[in-house]
Amino acid sequence: MELNRRTVIAGAAAAGIAATTLGGTAHATGGRKPVKTLFGKLADGTKIYSWSLENGGTRLKVLSYGGIVQSLEIPDRRGRYANVSAGFDTIEDYVAKSPYFGALIGRYGNRIGKGKFTLDGKNYQLSVNDGEQSLHGGAQGFDKRVWDIEPFTKGSDVGLYLYYTSVDGEMGYPGTLKTKVTYTLTKHGDWRIDYEATTDKATVVNLTSHVYWNLAGEGSGTIEDHELHIAASRYTPTDSGLIPTGELTKVAGTPFDFRKAKPIGRDIRVSHPQLVTAKGFDHNWVLDKGITARPEHVATLRDPASGRTMKIATNEPGLQFYSGNFLDGTLTGPSGRTYRQGDALCLETQHFPDSPNKPSFPSTVLRPGQTYRTTTVHTFGC
Ligand code: BGC
């Protein structure tokens, strides 16, 4: 947690308010061990647990189904907490109708054209679940799998290790993929995600997280007033199936220019063919920093009304900004309010969509003996 984390606590002390009313226990000095409770059961009786973590003023709830962030609470400039991620309050809703709310995405974030690719001369056909395309790993992606979760506390960090092994051929992908994702809450309230994977056959991998953000609080209405900055001079335009054409197009002079922070709503209704096709923003930005050894700052989201901000740092080369275009008022969140178009947005750090079919894009191939490693850090402030 950045900026006035101290101010909030100091302000609470001055007002004679117990710090627990602001951040729960121990948020100023370090986290406590994650707590596990039963969330619900799948149709086959499998128990799904919810893990609650808290550190540095950030509160996180994670499900063993899909590694889903079911709730992420942070304070506003006056210390008032809100859950800033869209979701549901029952496992049944997640299973039946979730548009990937809060979930871990694998094996491949975003689309692979026609669900086909060729690797080392072999053709693969993936599960197709979005028109002709394979989206977010196919019909039963990592978002619909049960993850093994182990809690940890390390120094001033608290977190969870999430494990899932995807068998050879699952959703059409080659190789047994062993995946470990680490969710860490730091003493500053940052939420860090470390992804790791190994394989026993050459394959492709592109893991990401699909939290739907609304920094004013889930269920509070549109994100069009949020200001967004993306450190990217180019993006990857798509065809009508939302598959990149392969071009890297300059954002200058287009609605896709977020190099200076601007309200999301400012240009979202511009009749630009790319916005018309996607019904808003649903594109991959080519981050100027490229692939980096360490996470570097690439985007900032700010809700001027509450003062809440989120900065994203990653070592990935791409960022999918999806402005919640397909939310249509038919899903109801934990607040009891429906999600309409643009009521939440996703910022998914990634390699570019359809890379397995785009030799000019950075490679997503993972081979036996290599370890896939990427990291994304969300830093909250107000
Ligand atoms: C994609 C959208 C898709 C959404 C699913 C996003 O990551 O870019 O096209 O509709 O996920 O909820």
Nearest partner of 321 among 256, 249, 272, judged by Cα:
256
User: How do the pLDDT tens digits run along the chain, 382 residues long?
Assistant: 544 433 333 333 333 223 333 333 334 445 678 999 999 999 999 999 999 999 999 999 999 999 999 999 999 999 999 999 999 999 999 999 999 999 999 999 999 999 999 999 999 999 999 999 999 999 999 999 999 999 999 999 999 999 999 999 999 999 999 999 999 999 999 999 999 999 999 999 999 999 999 999 999 999 999 999 999 999 999 999 999 999 999 999 999 999 999 999 999 999 999 999 999 999 999 999 999 999 999 999 999 999 999 999 999 999 999 999 999 999 999 999 999 999 999 999 999 999 999 999 999 999 999 999 999 999 999 9
- The one-character DSSP state at 115 is G
Cα gap 350→353, rounded to integer Å: 8
CA of 35 to the centre of ligand 1 (A): 31
The CATH number given to 101-381 is: 2.70.98.10
Q: Is 210 a catalytic residue?
A: yes
The pLDDT of residue 30? 54
Q: Which of 210, 226, 283, 378 is catalytic?
A: 210
- Please provide the distance, in angstroms rounded to a whole number, between the alpha carbons at the two ends of the chain: 8
Q: Is 170 a catalytic residue?
A: no
The pLDDT of residue 1? 52
In a 3-state reduction of DSSP, which class is residue 288? coil
Residue 38 burial by Cβ neighbours in a 10 Å radius (0-12, 13-18, 19+): exposed
Q: Point out the ligand 1 atom lying closest to the alpha carbon of residue 242.
A: 9
The pLDDT of residue 32? 75
CA of 136 to the centre of ligand 1 (A): 8
3-class SS letters over 349-363: EECCCCHHHCCCCCC
